[in-house]
Amino acid sequence: MVDADTFLYEQLAAELGGAIERGALRPGDRLPSVRRLAEERQVSVATVLQAYLRLENTGLIEVRPKSGHFVRRRTELTAEPRAPRQCATPARVSVSDAVARILEALRDPAVVPLGSAYVDPSMLPVTALNRMLAQLAREASTAGARYDAAPGLLTLRRQLARRAVDWGVPLREDEFVTTIGATEGLSLALRAVARAGDVIAVESPTYFGVLQAIEGLGMRALEIPASPRTGMDLDALDEALRAGGVKAIMVQPNVSNPLGGVMPDDAKERLIKLARRHDLPVIEDDVYGELVFDGSRPRPLRAFDDDGRVLLVGSVSKTLAPGYRVGWIAGGRLHDAVVRLKYSQSLACPTLTQMAVAEFLGSGGYDRHLRRLRSHLAGQVERYRDAVIEFFPEGTRVSAPRGGFVLWIEMPGGVDSLVMLDRAVARGVVIAPGPVFSARNRFGNFVRISCGMPWSPKAEAAVKLVGELACELSGKRSRGLRAA
Amino acid sequence: MVDADTFLYEQLAAELGGAIERGALRPGDRLPSVRRLAEERQVSVATVLQAYLRLENTGLIEVRPKSGHFVRRRTELTAEPRAPRQCATPARVSVSDAVARILEALRDPAVVPLGSAYVDPSMLPVTALNRMLAQLAREASTAGARYDAAPGLLTLRRQLARRAVDWGVPLREDEFVTTIGATEGLSLALRAVARAGDVIAVESPTYFGVLQAIEGLGMRALEIPASPRTGMDLDALDEALRAGGVKAIMVQPNVSNPLGGVMPDDAKERLIKLARRHDLPVIEDDVYGELVFDGSRPRPLRAFDDDGRVLLVGSVSKTLAPGYRVGWIAGGRLHDAVVRLKYSQSLACPTLTQMAVAEFLGSGGYDRHLRRLRSHLAGQVERYRDAVIEFFPEGTRVSAPRGGFVLWIEMPGGVDSLVMLDRAVARGVVIAPGPVFSARNRFGNFVRISCGMPWSPKAEAAVKLVGELACELSGKRSRGLRAA
C-alpha cells in the first residue's frame, strides 16, 4: 500500500519491486532505460534514478556498466537454518571462553570483523555527531564535568520519550534510565528480575551477550527454540512455563540476533498473556527495532503490556555510534529497582556523550539517517548472502533476515565452527561460531557473520575464506552459484 | 624532610608551617613582611608570596587587609569522632533507601550539595579537558564511533601504567581494565571475588557506594572499626579473619571516606600479610590517593602485594572530571575474570572520553593541577572545619582528614541524622547522614559533609543551617567559637 506522503521514487521502486517479486519481471530482464521510464511515467530522470538506486540497494536489480539496469538472478537456495529441538531442562552457561576469544581477536584492527555485530562507521553519521559533541564540549564546560547520576540526563530521556511515541509505546521521560549501551541495560534488567541460580527463558539461538550476562550472574538459561521468521516458539514457551521454575523471559521480538526474525503482533500479544498468567517479568532487547528493512518499525512487546512487566532495553549502538555507549532501559514496575542497581553498578553515564546523542535525536537528522541506513543494510545483507550461497559448501542453509545485519548459517554436519574460528583468525578474519549462541553449546555447525561492513573485494575475500574453511571442514564442495 | 628538588617556596612554607605547629609562632602572631623576609632569606618577593599563599590555603595563616599576615587562631576543639565497637557478625546491607534519598535530592541543581563527595567543577581543569575532547571529536572521527571492548583504550592504559610508577606500583598497560568511574571498578571487583551470601570485611564507617554494591549483589558486610587517623583496625581484622567466614577485604587505605585517615606503610604490610595468611583477595579503593594534603602520595596497598591478590580501583572523578566517568581496575590475578565481567556488564567504555583523559594525563598539566588542587582542598577543609566548630552543638567531634575533602562529624547523642537530612533538604541543603556509612545503620548521630565547594557565604550559610539543625535536634547550643 502506498500512501500520499510517500516520495514518488519510493512509489516507483515499490511498484517495480512488486513486479519482480510477482515474476512479472524475471531474473536477467533488462529494465527500461532511465530516460524512457521517466517519459512514460511523466516523472523526472532524478526520480527514476533514485528508484533504481533503491532497488539496487535492496539487492533486487543490478547495474551492468554501459548496458543498463537488470533484474538480478536470485539464487534458488532459500532453505533457512533449522530451529533446534525443545530442551526440557535449564543449563548453567559457559560461553565466556569462546566469547573472550572472539572479542580478543576483534581488538586487532587489521582483522576483518565478520564476528562483530556492528555497523561500519562509514555508514553512520559519526562526523555530524562528533561535531555536536565538540560544540557541546566547548560550550557546556562545567555541565560536562558534573556527575549526572541515574536515571541520567533529562534532555536525553525527553528525546527517548518523544521517540517512544513513534514506537507505539507511551513512555514518559521519568520511565527511562540511561545506560552504558544496551549491554548495561540487559545486565541491570537481569539483576532486577532474578538472582544466582534462577532460570531465564531465552531464545535458542540467542545473542551471546545475553548468555554471558546470565553466566556472569550465576543464573541458568532455559533455551526455547526460535524460528528465523517469527522468533521464539510460543508453544514451546507455554510448555516450559507450565512445567514451572522459570523466573523471567528474555527475548528479542524485533529482529532477533542471530536469526533476524520479527515476532508478529498477535504472537507478541500471546507472549504477554503467557507472562501475565505466570506473573513473570519479560526483558525485551529492542536494539534492532529501527532496522527492519521495510521500514515498518514493528512495535515493541512493551506496547502490548499494560501492567509494566516488560523491561524495555535499547541503544543507539547499532544505528548511530557504538563507541558513544549510549543506551537505555524502561524498567516498568521495576524502575526504582533498576535505578538503585545502576547507582551501585556505575552510578552515572558520561554527561557529554549523552548530551550529544540527545541533540542528534532532536535534530530530525536521525530519521533521515535511519531510512538510508535500512536501505543500505538490506542491500548489503543480500550481497553477503549471495556470497555465502556461492562459497559455502552444498547443503548450507542461510537465514533471510527481515532486518539488522547478520546472517545465521547452518553448515553441513561435519563442520566444527570453533575450529573454524581458530583457522579464520589465523588468516585475519573473525567469525562468531554457533556454540556461543547457546547455553548448551549447541549449533556446533553454525556460524553467524556480520554484514555491517560495506560490500567490497575485501569483504568478499573474507566470506570466501570462511566458505572455503567450511568446505575444507565438511569435505564438501561449494555450490559455486553466483548472481549473473 | 626537604629534598633538593622541592621548590624554594615549598621549603619556606614547610619551615614556617613547622614553626607554627611547634608553637614557635603562636596564634595571632604577625609574620614578617614579605619584603623583609625576602631580604632575610635572599629569595625573591614572589617566592615569599607563594609560600604565604600556601600557608593561607592550608589554613595556617590569614591575611588581614592592610595589616599583613597572621597566624590563625586554631580552635581548641581537636576531638575526633570515635570509632565504633567491634561487631562479631556480618549483616545484610540495606542502605539503598537512604542513599536514594540523598542522590535524588542532589539532582536538584538549586540545592547546596554538602552530601556529595565531589569537587566543584570550578576547581577542576574542565575547560582544558573539554577542549581536548572537542579537538579529538573533530579529528578522530571514526575512532570515536567504534566499540573499544574491555580491557579498554590502549593509550589510556599506557598513561595509567606510566602514572603507576609514581604510585610506587609497577603495573603494565595490560594489567588495567578501564571502567565507568571507580563505581564500576568496585562492582566488578566484588563480583570477581565473591557471590551472593558471601561476607566482605569493610571499614566502619565506610563509603556508602561500597555498601550499596554489596547490598545490590546480595552479599553481606562485616564491619571492622576504623580510626580517623590510620584506617582499618588491623587487630580487629585479624580477629575477624581468625573467626572465619570472610571472603574478601574491601578497604580505602589512602584517605578513607568518610574518615580521611591514611594507613601507615607498616600497617599496609601487615594487612597484606593477614590477607595472605587466609588467602583472601583485597579490594583497594584508591580514588583519593592523589589528594593527600602534604603531597606525599602514599603508596597503594598494591605496592606491598607480591602475589596479585589486591584489586586496585581508581578514577579521575575526584581529581579531573566526575562527568567523564573514567576509572580503572588492575585486577591482579583476577584480571581475566574482571575482563569477562566487564564484557557482560557494559562491554566497553565510551571511546572519546577515554581518549581525552589519556591526552590530559599525558600532557603534564595533570601534576601541576594536582598540586594546586591539594593545596586548595586543604585550605577549604580547614574553613569548613572551623565553621563546624562554630555552628555545631557543644560536644560535637570532627575529623581532621589527611586528604580528600570530606569531614566526618559526631554530634551529641540526641541527634538523628536521617531526620536532619529531611529537614536540611526541605531548606535546600543535602547532607550525607551517618547510617548510610554502615551496614548496621550505626552512626545515627553522625553526618558527613563535603568541602568540595569553594568556601563562600553560601557554603557558610549551608554549614550554619546544618549546625543549627544539630543544635535543634540535640537541645544543645553551639560553641560559637570562631577563628579571630
What ranges make up the beta strands (E) of A370-419? Answer: 397-398, 406-410
> What local confidence, expressed as pLDDT, does residue B78 receive?
55
B146/A118 touch (CB, cutoff 8 Å), yes or no: yes
Stretch (H or E) spanning B292: none
Contact B131 A147 (CB under 8 A): no
Same domain, A347 and A476: no
Which pLDDT belongs to residue A26? 81
CB atoms inside a 10 Å sphere around CB B157: 23
Range of weakest confidence among A32-36, A160-164, A248-252, B276-280: A32-36
Q: For residue B340, give the nearest of B458, B188, B462, B471 by alpha carbon.
A: B188
Summarize the confidence of residues B36-56 as an average pLDDT. Answer: 89
- B166 inside domain: yes
Helix residue ranges per DSSP H, B346-430:
351-362, 365-391, 417-426
A291-344 pLDDT per residue, tens: 999 888 999 999 999 999 999 999 999 999 999 999 999 999 999 999 999 999
Same domain? For A361 and A372 the reply is no
Place of cell 601504567: B161
In this prediction, residue A27 has a pLDDT band, given cuts at 50, 70 and 90, of confident
Query: Mean pLDDT, chain B, as a whole number?
Result: 91
Same structural domain, B385 and B399: yes
Tell me, yes or no, whether A118 lies in a domain: no
More confident residue, A222 or A82: A222
Question: Based on the domain organization, do A372 and A353 belong to the same domain?
Answer: no
Judge if A354 and A382 occupy the same domain.
no
Which amino acid is present at B389? I
Same domain (yes/no): A356, A409 = no
* pLDDT tens, residue by residue, B78-124: 578 887 877 778 888 888 888 999 999 998 889 999 999 889 999 99
Query: Which H/E stretch holds residue B137?
Result: helix B126-139
Predicted complex ipTM: 0.86
Q: Which of B364, B396, B385, B357 is nearest to B460 (CA)?
A: B385
A365-391 vs A457-474: helix crossing angle, rounded to 10: 40
Residue of B nearest to A117 (CA): B147
**DSSP designation for B434:** G
Q: Write down the pLDDT at residue B484.
A: 34
Identity of residue B337 = A
Residue ranges of the alpha helices (H) in A107-153? 126-139
pTM over 0.90: no
SS3 B106: helix
B270 within domain boundaries: yes
Position B77 scores a pLDDT of 46
Residues of B in Cβ contact (< 8 Å) with A348:
181, 322-323, 325
Tell if the CB–CB gap between B144 and A323 is shorter than 8 Å. Answer: yes
> Quick one: residue B401, left, alpha or beta (phi over 0 = left, psi -120 to 50 = alpha)?
beta
Question: Which residues, in sequence order, are CB contacts of A419 under 8 Å at separation 6+?
Answer: A473
Q: Are B185 and B170 in the same domain? A: yes
Distance CA A117, CA A135 (A): 30
Question: A68 has which bridge partners?
Answer: A64
Establish if B466 belongs to a structural domain. Answer: yes
In a domain? residue B431: yes
What letter would DSSP give residue B413? T
Residue A267 CB neighbours (<10 A): 18
Query: Any idea which residue has 567523564 for its cell?
Result: B324
Q: Among the listed ranges A209-218, A320-329, B55-64, B464-473, which one has the minimum average pLDDT value?
A: B55-64
Query: By mean pLDDT, which of A82-96, A128-142, B42-56, B216-230 is the weakest?
Result: A82-96
Query: Distance between CA A473 and CA A424 in Å, rounded?
Result: 12
Cα separation, A55 vs B247, whole angstroms: 62
- CB spacing of A134 vs B129 below 8 angstroms: no
Count of other CB atoms within 10 angstroms of residue A22:
8
How far apart are the C-alpha atoms of A146 and A155, rounded to whole Å?
A: 15
Q: Is residue B456 part of a domain?
A: yes
Residue B471 belongs to some domain of the structure = yes
- Can you tell me the mean pLDDT for B236-254? 97
What integer pLDDT is reported at residue A77 of this predicted model? 46
Under DSSP, is residue A250 helix (H, G, I), strand (E, B) or coil? strand
Of B38, B53, B71, the residue that ends a domain is B71
User: In CATH, what number is assigned to the domain containing residue B14?
Assistant: 1.10.10.10
Chain A residues within an 8 Å CB radius of B134: 133-135, 137-138
Measured CA to CA, the distance from residue A168 to residue A391 in angstroms comes to: 42
pLDDT recorded at residue B392 = 95
Q: Whose CA is closest to B126, among B260, B371, B301, B324?
A: B324
Determine the Cα–Cα distance for residues A467 and A477; give it in Å rounded to an integer. 10
Q: Same domain for A48 and A169? A: no
Whether B316 contacts B326, CB under 8 Å: yes
CB contact at 8 A, B134 and A144: no
Alpha-carbon gap, residue B163 to B319, rounded angstroms:
14
Interface touch A340/B149, C-beta < 8 Å = no
- Over residues A367-387, the mean pLDDT reads 93
Give A-chain residues touching B342 at CB under 8 angstroms: none
Are residues B361 and B384 located together in one domain of the fold? no
Which DSSP helix (H) or strand (E) runs through A101? helix A96-106
pLDDT of A127 > 50? The answer is yes
Ordered DSSP codes for A143-165 = GGGS--BTT--HHHHHHHHHHHH
Q: Which range among A72-86, A203-217, A430-444, B23-37 shows the weakest confidence by mean pLDDT?
A: A72-86
CATH number of the domain that B430 lies in?
3.90.1150.10
Same domain, B361 and B441: no
Confidence of residue B2 (pLDDT cuts 50, 70, 90): very low
Contacting residues of A for B95, CB less than 8 Å apart: none
Report CB contact under 8 Å: B103, A346.
no
Share above pLDDT 70 across residues of chain A, in percent, rounded to a whole number: 96
List, in sequence order, every beta strand (DSSP E) within B281-380: 282-285, 310-315, 326-330
Nearest C-alpha in B relative to A210:
B344
CA B102 to chain CA centroid, nearest Å: 18
Write the CA distances from A254 to A282, A372, A373, B155, B285, integer angstroms.
Answer: 14, 19, 17, 37, 42
Q: Which long-range contacts (CB under 8 A, 24 or more apart) does B24-33 make?
A: B25/B71, B26/B71, B27/B71, B27/B72, B27/B73, B27/B74, B27/B484, B28/B70, B28/B71, B28/B73, B28/B484, B29/B70, B29/B71, B30/B67, B30/B68, B30/B69, B30/B70, B31/B61, B31/B68, B31/B69, B31/B70, B31/B71, B33/B68
Rounded Cα gap, residues A41 and A102, in angstroms = 52
Q: Counting beta carbons within 10 angstroms of the beta carbon of residue B230, is it exposed (0 to 12), middle (13 to 18) or buried (19 or more)?
A: middle
Cβ neighbours for B207, distance < 8 A, ≥ 6 positions apart: B252, B257, B258, B285, B437
| Number of compact structural domains in chain B | 3
**Which of B130, B187, B336 has its CB closest to that of A141?**
B130
Domain span at B266: 125-365
Neighbours of A376 (CB within 10 A): 17
pLDDT, residue B438, reads 95
CA A410 to chain B, closest CA, distance in angstroms equals 26
Cell 547457546, residue located: A438
Residue B251: burial class (beta carbons within 10 Å; 0-12, 13-18, 19+): buried
Does the beta-carbon distance from A134 to B131 stay under 8 Å? Answer: no
Q: Which of A141, A213, A349 sits opposite B344 (nearest CB)?
A: A213
Which amino acid, one-letter code, is at A230?
Answer: T
Residues of B in Cβ contact (< 8 Å) with A141? 121, 126-127, 130
In a domain, B89, yes or no: no
Give the pLDDT of residue A74.
Answer: 60
Looking at A48, A71, A94, the residue that finishes a domain is A71
d(CA A315, CA A285): 9
| Distances B339 to A219, A256, B105, B161, B345 between C-alpha atoms, Å | 19, 26, 34, 17, 10
Give the CATH number for residue A229: 3.40.640.10
Whether residue B374 sits in one domain with residue B349: no
| pLDDT at residue A475, as a whole number | 93
User: In this predicted structure, what is the pLDDT of residue A469?
Assistant: 97
Say what the pLDDT of residue A483 is.
39
DSSP A362: H
Show which of A365, A384, A416 is a domain's final residue: A365
Same domain? A307 vs A374: no
For residue B294, the 8-state DSSP code is T
Q: How far lies A429's CA from each of A20, A443, A449, B431, in Å?
A: 35, 20, 11, 55
- CA angle, B275 as apex, B273 and B279 as ends, to 5°? 115
Computed over every residue of chain A, the mean pLDDT equals: 91
Cell of B87: 561487631
**pLDDT classification of B482: cutoffs 50, 70, 90:** very low
Q: Determine the Cα–Cα distance for residues B312 and B324; give it in Å rounded to an integer.
A: 20
What are the cell numbers at A87? 530442551
